[in-house]
Amino acid sequence: MPSRSLPLNAVKHFEMCGQQLVAFRGGSGVVHVLSAYCPHLGANLGIGGHVVTESGDDCIQCPFHGWRFGGDGQCKRIPNLNGVFISSDPDHYPEDFLAKYGHNLSFRFYYSRHMDSNFEVVGENCGDLEHFARLHGSVVPYLTTTKFSFDTTRSADNEIAGFATIYVLGFKLITQPWKLWFGSPVMVHHKLGYDNSLLGPVLGVLNAVPLHHGQTRLTTMIYSKPTILHRLWAIFYFYLLNIQADADMEVWVNTQKLKRPIFTRNDDLIQLYRRYCQRFYAK
């Protein structure tokens, strides 16, 4: 690839001698070439990454968590390192989520898709709080956005809790409580809404079933109350989940699992999930 074919503020992913690389040209006009894979969790910088400036230096920003790397390969910035999330016992998980939250809810929708990635990335992704704002802020571009906030402590049941606020044309539409729990290494439950509110809760069950190495079937099941209003709310939530899954999948299928990823204090849920999964692996 001749350097003149790379315009200013452009990113190009390519392969050379069996290595996946990324080239980028910032405002200085200099072309920089780095390994394509982010040393954090292995996302491909050349697919969805973009050029930014950090302290006057040309940098490429990871599409997954926003880490910034200079042309010398050094990490120049890691966002949101001020928040600290407290770990709890990975051996303790709550009672069955459907039994606890599925009362008076009926099955509504089912969707299945195949993806060229291992199943672990789905569970890790659900506990990866730092990526929500970066990948899931936009629902319908320029029309509908979502902002997430999370409780920085976990309950005795080890649930992840927080709030999702939906905006339309910049105006706040609704804020709903949101919970997530890992039922197993391949099953994630999530609940949106108050039990006794007008819209009521919507319960989602996400399964990542390993088929072969690097091949996973991802299924989503949605439950809600039987009224027409609750069904419409469930349709919106189903649509929202699938948009979010599409954004994640572009990262997942281009990610390389690293033997020694660089974790920060914001990644404790990912490490918790990995320790939890080890309980099910053959020795």
Q: How far apart are CA 179 and CA 64, in angstroms?
A: 22
Q: Which phi-psi region, left, alpha or beta, contains residue 164 (left: φ > 0; alpha: ψ -120 to 50)?
A: beta
Sole residue written with tokens 């692996």: 281
Q: Which tokens sit at 2?
A: 């001749």
**Residue-wise pLDDT tens digits, 237-265:** 888 888 888 888 888 888 888 888 888 88
Mean pLDDT of the chain: 81
Residue 85 confidence (pLDDT): 38
State CA 82 to chain mean position distance.
Answer: 20
Distances (CA, A) of 34 to 4, 68, 264, 269: 18, 12, 22, 29
State CA 76 to chain mean position distance.
Answer: 22
Residue 92 confidence (pLDDT): 38
Burial class (CB in 10 A: 0-12, 13-18, 19+), 65: buried
Residue 38 confidence (pLDDT): 92
- Sheet of 10-16, strand order: 10-16, 19-25, 31-35
Q: Which tokens sit at 143?
A: 């029309």
**Residue-wise pLDDT tens digits, 133-171:** 788 888 777 888 888 888 766 554 567 888 989 899 889
CB 48 within 8 A of CB 57: no
How many Å from the N-terminal Cα to the C-terminal Cα in the chain?
A: 46
Q: What pTM value is reported for the model?
A: 0.67
> Rounded mean pLDDT of 211-225?
85
Residue 106 confidence (pLDDT): 83
Distances (CA, A) of 36 to 17, 19, 29, 269: 13, 9, 20, 25
> Rounded mean pLDDT of 278-283?
62
For residue 134, what are the β-bridge partners? none
For residue 149, what are the β-bridge partners? 163
**Residue-wise pLDDT tens digits, 24-82:** 999 888 999 999 999 988 899 999 899 998 888 899 999 988 899 999 888 888 887 65
Residues 6+ apart with CB under 8 A from 101: 179, 189, 191, 201, 203
Per DSSP, 44 falls in state B
Which domains are delineated in the chain? 3-77 (2.102.10.10), 97-278 (3.30.530.20)
Residue 62 confidence (pLDDT): 92
> Rounded mean pLDDT of 190-212?
82
Residue 188 confidence (pLDDT): 84
The confidence band for 93, taking pLDDT boundaries of 50, 70 and 90, is very low
For residue 160, what are the β-bridge partners? 180
Q: How far apart are CA 28 and CA 21, in angstroms?
A: 20
Q: In 10 A of CB 141, how many CB atoms?
A: 7
Return the closest-CA partner of residue 32 out of 62, 57, 66: 57
CB 175 within 8 A of CB 164: yes
For 15-29, 83-97, 231-245, which range has the lowest pLDDT when averaged over its residues? Answer: 83-97
More confident residue, 26 or 4: 26
